[in-house]
């Protein structure tokens, strides 16, 4: 498989090189295709950097629309393995969508979000567009990626309320003792994703 062409919207101060990004996107595509073809792919870390544990979200798009999104908020696997696992899960386990078909697979566009570790943050320090949020309370947890607040043009309070909503909590739970954690994400993908 040839390396995918990256979108021009990647961050200027990227932690992952263009080569690493292209490898991860290629791995995501191959993980989906190999599942459809019922074959294994070798999961050998291409670099030490890609073997570091990281939280990862994989978003799939088809003809401009979301086709699946699954991820790990915490660093449970090395980044290369997390990309392969979340790509397969986004393609076949996102309950909002039917599983991706072999016919759709070549047309999927992938966006990866590689997360920093979440850290406790005061509500007044949340910066929409810079931070993603993880809000938890009473065994419920909701997560929204940094790009979600940009896509919806949410200011800080709305972003906090919507993350509470995602957790199935009252909108004002962030003011009533919920744990608020923030993270950043390096987001990159293919043209059109």
Write the DSSP symbol of residue 58: E
Quick one: pLDDT at residue 44?
76
What residues does each domain of the chain span?
18-115, 119-185
Confidence of residue 7 (pLDDT cuts 50, 70, 90): very low
Query: pLDDT (tens digit, 9 = 90+) per residue, 131-167?
Result: 999 999 999 999 999 999 999 999 999 999 999 999 9
Query: pLDDT (tens digit, 9 = 90+) per residue, 12-54?
Result: 468 999 999 999 999 999 999 999 999 988 777 778 899 999 9
Q: What is the rounded distance in angstroms from the CA atom of residue 172 to the CA atom of residue 102?
A: 43
Inter-residue contact 144 to 71 (CB < 8 Å) = no
Write the DSSP symbol of residue 78: B
- The CATH fold of domain 119-185: Dna Ligase; domain 1 (3.30.1490)
Query: pLDDT (tens digit, 9 = 90+) per residue, 25-35?
Result: 999 999 999 99
Reference 89, options 32, 22, 25; nearest CA is: 32
Inter-residue contact 189 to 29 (CB < 8 Å) = no
Domain 18-115 has CATH 3.30.700.20: yes
Query: pLDDT (tens digit, 9 = 90+) per residue, 62-118?
Result: 998 999 999 998 899 999 999 999 999 999 999 999 999 999 999 999 999 999 999
Q: Rounded to whole angstroms, what are the CA distances from 77 to 53, 56, 62, 66, 174?
A: 5, 9, 27, 25, 29
Global pTM reads: 0.83
Q: Rounded to whole angstroms, what are the CA distances from 44 to 56, 84, 141?
A: 18, 11, 32
Quick one: pLDDT at residue 47?
84
Inter-residue contact 177 to 109 (CB < 8 Å) = no
**More confidently predicted of 9 and 32:** 32
Q: What is the rounded distance in angstroms from the CA atom of residue 72 to the CA atom of residue 139?
A: 17
User: Hunting for tokens 């629309």 — which residue is that?
Assistant: 65
Confidence of residue 8 (pLDDT cuts 50, 70, 90): very low
Q: What is the rounded distance in angstroms from the CA atom of residue 2 to the CA atom of residue 26?
A: 8
Reference 168, options 150, 132, 142; nearest CA is: 142
Residue 6 pLDDT exceeds 50: no
Q: What is the rounded distance in angstroms from the CA atom of residue 105 to the CA atom of residue 28?
A: 11
């Amino acid at each position: 498989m040839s390396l995918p062409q990256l979108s021009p919207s990647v961050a200027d101060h990227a932690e992952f090189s263009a080569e690493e990004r292209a490898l991860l996107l290629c791995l995501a595509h191959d993980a989906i295709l190999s599942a459809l073809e019922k074959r294994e792919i070798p999961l050998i870390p291409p670099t030490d950097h890609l073997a570091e544990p990281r939280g990862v979200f994989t978003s799939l798009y088809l003809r401009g629309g979301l086709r699946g999104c699954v991820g790990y908020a915490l660093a449970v696997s090395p980044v290369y393995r997390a990309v392969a696992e979340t790509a397969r899960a986004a393609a076949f386990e996102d309950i909002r969508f039917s599983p991706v078909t072999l016919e759709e697979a070549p047309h999927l566009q992938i966006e990866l979000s590689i997360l920093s570790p979440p850290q406790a943050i005061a509500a007044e320090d949340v910066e929409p567009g810079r931070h993603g949020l993880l809000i938890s309370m009473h065994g419920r947890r909701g997560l929204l990626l940094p790009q979600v607040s940009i896509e919806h043009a949410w200011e800080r309070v709305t972003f906090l309320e919507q993350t509470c909503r995602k957790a199935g909590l009252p909108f004002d739970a962030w003011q009533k003792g919920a744990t608020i954690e923030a993270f950043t994400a390096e987001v990159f993908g293919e043209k059109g994703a």
